[in-house]
Amino acid sequence: MSAIVCSRGDPLTERELEVLARAAAGDTMVETARRVFLAPETVKTYRQRIIRKLGARNITHAVALAVALGHLSPAVHAATRN
């Protein structure tokens, strides 16, 4: 995954990209937390930061924006689902 530079020039961190990819794969916050060894509240915080940085309405919109910008591909979604 390549870095996503947001409208404010504040790029998503590697961990934010990882959480975004898990959301793209359809994981809930709890599933993401288990997979990346974080507390669910930490995943929630990462999702909120992603949404804010991308100017999205919610995490689904953030995933759509990342795909539209070419920073996530449908192949990545399928590969991360396992």
> What is the domain count for the chain?
1
pLDDT the model gives residue 72: 84
In a domain, 62, yes or no: yes
Structural domain boundaries, residue 48: 15-80
60 inside domain? yes
Q: Is 5 helix (H, G, I), strand (E, B) or coil?
A: strand
Tell me whether residue 30 is in a domain: yes
Domain assignment of residue 70, yes or no: yes
Task: Specify if 58 maps to a domain.
Answer: yes
Here the CATH number for the domain that contains residue 44 is: 1.10.10.10
Q: What does pLDDT average to in each consecutive run of 10 residues of the chain (82 residues)?
A: 60 93 96 97 97 95 91 63 54
Residue 37 falls within a domain, yes or no?
yes
Instruction: Note the pLDDT of residue 7.
Output: 56
